Structure 1
Amino acid sequence: MSCSVPEKLEYIFRNHDVAKNGEALITWSNRPAVVFGRHQNPWLEVNLKYAKNNEISVARRHSGGGAVYHDEGNVNFSLLTTHQAHCRPRNLRFVSEALNNAYKLQRDDMELQPGNRKCSGTAARIAHGMAYHHFTLLVVANLKVLSASLNSPHKNLIETTATRSVRAPAVGFLAQDDQRVNVPSVTDVIVRSFCDKNQGAEVEVIDVGFEIENNADMRKIYDELCDWKWIYGKSPSFVYRKDDVAATVKNGIVVESTGSLNAGERFALD
């Protein structure tokens, strides 16, 4: 099982002292992956068969919010602050002003104009007096792959209280409007803007693979995030119905079933 989530972000969240060391901006890009929210259901949010056939990882993050598609054409930003200083509108204004071509609209998302094309989703985590607000920004995107990855064939067959993603009427990416932009250039602009706003800020490039192999705490976080119990078993309880099959699922395990699914086994669909 592969896992594609920012282990370093979770490690920093647990260990960085904002009051002592100041706010932090973390940026990264992932290999192709669908990353869904802490309180979501992967069978509902992800086309798992398509993801498997196209070597797209599936991951559950610690923060809430909806499902997003990541690849090397996205750049992800996380702003780590105290809970008291946490402010999504402020953060999105900062990014919008730095890029000068995307801006915040409803639901704390960013859209390109004209066309109200959503180019960034947003989520947050707050715990122990700390907070991070993070969002992915589409720079260069294959919208067909993005759409297919997030289009579960089972979405109308599942009853659950799990958080459902709200699909945007239109999706866009920065290179649609300016073919000169790329992930490194966008990252550089945001980092430089952050440093300008936070005099004395230091830039550090981290080899996450090296850290996972040599940092026991980060390895533990990585293993937790890649475990089936976290990715699938963490899903809120749900009922799946199709034709003669009806299954009640808790913690990813079938507890009651009629038809071809067996009680006591992990829930799985072709």
Structure 2
Amino acid sequence: MCTISRGRIGTILKSTSTCIFENLAFEEHIFRTHNVERSGEVLLMWSNRPAVVIGRHQNPWIEVNIPFAKGTNIEIARRHSGGGTVYHDQGNLNISLLTTHAQHCRPKNLKFISDALNSKFAVQIVPNSRDDMELQPGSRKCSGTAARIAKGQAYHHLTLLIDADLKILKKSLKSPFRDQIESNATRSVRAPAVGFLREDDGNSSVQGAEMAISEAYRKLFEQSQFETIDVGAKVAANPEISKILEELKSWKWIYGKSPKFKFSGENGQEIEVKDGLIMGTDQRFSTDF
């Protein structure tokens, strides 16, 4: 059952970093080290430079237009949570909610977020059965969602498209190699339609959404606090966060973490790949050959 966290403390953290790897590393560090039972729940928000972020169990060659991303300086990252692939940029707000496993409740989170945004802006956002959020009319997906649960704690994080270039978003997520790969990796479910808040309300903004969500979050708790965090400085000063960051940026994590797959080349040649390496060799797989 989903309940309001009466009697608990809620902390709101706003990251000033625009680096996807720094923000994911900081989120993971909080998840590993922050004791929710003792210190209360956490809402973390950030926006970053253009990036495509795949789920933990996905294959980037299936999910991402890698040549386009590399040619336009769009970062490719793999997060620790499951779920599908999403596009981020500074017109998108990332929202991460850390709770105990017992308090973990996606419908509750999506209700307070959609209610807050609908009250602030002239939009109609509705959560759906997939725990995404859609703009109505038109069932235009404006938010994707995923979660991570371990050792009695959980985070539910989601994107929120506020201002977006849908041509770049769609091109980034359309791999030219997806039909050439056979794999049991989790495949993203493509939304029939995608939308963003500024389509419906030109006055909507990332800053305005942050304020609306922060105000709604505070109402869930008897005590709350807000803090702006220089995540870049935190990463530089903390060896544990730096270690997480280096893993997230590594080829082994981004590409090598992909489940075993088979690639069929245009010449009919089949290549089997495990841990990102062509089987029987120590050669990294690449579609550039």
Residue number in structure 1 paired with 2:69 = 51
Secondary structure of 2:163's aligned partner:
coil
After TM superposition, the structure 1 = structure 2 runs for residues 219-230 of structure 1, keeping only pairs within 5 Å, are 219-230=242-253
1:106 CA drift (Å): 2.4
Q: TM-score if structure 1 supplies the norm length?
A: 0.95
Question: Are 1:146 and 2:153 counterparts?
Answer: no
Task: Confirm whether residue 249 of structure 1 aligns to residue 267 of structure 2.
Answer: no
1:29 to 47, 57, 61: 47
Instruction: State the one-letter code of the partner of 2:111.
Output: R
* Aligned length in residues: 263
RMSD of aligned alpha carbons: 1.1
Q: For 1:195-214, what aligned pairs fall within 5 Å after superposition?
A: 195-214=218-237
- CA distance, structure 1, for counterparts of residue 158 and residue 269 of structure 2: 38
SS of residue matched to 1:66: coil
What letter is aligned with 2:42? A
Q: Deviations over 1:84-112 (max 9, x none)?
A: 11111111111111111311012111000
- Quick check: 1:3–1:226 contact (8 Å CA) kept in 2? no
Please give the secondary structure, in 1, of the residue aligned with 2:179: coil
CA contact (8 A) 1:88 1:108 kept: yes
1:92 alignment partner, SS class: helix
Tell me the CA shift for residue 22 of structure 1: 1.2
Name the SS for the 1:203 alignment partner: strand
Aligned to 2:95: 77
State the Cα distance separating 1:16 from its structure 2 match.
Answer: 0.7
Alignment partner of 1:182 is 2:205: yes
**Paired-residue identity, %:** 54
Query: d(CA) in 2 for partners of 1:35 and 1:91?
Result: 22
TM-score by length of 2: 0.89
Q: Does 1:166 align with 2:166?
A: no
CA–CA separation in structure 1 for the residues paired with 2:202 and 2:226:
27
- More contact order relative to length (CA 8 Å, sep ≥ 6): 2
- Where in structure 1 are there 5+ consecutive unaligned residues? 257-262
Which deviates more from structure 2 when the two are superposed, residues 133-142 or residues 94-103? 94-103
Distance in 1 of aligned mates of 2:219 and 2:101: 23
AA of the residue aligned to 2:264: R
Residue 156 of structure 1 aligns with which residue?
A: 179
Contact kept, 8 Å, 2:20 with 2:48, in 1: the verdict is: no
1:192 and 1:152 mapped to 2: Cα distance?
39
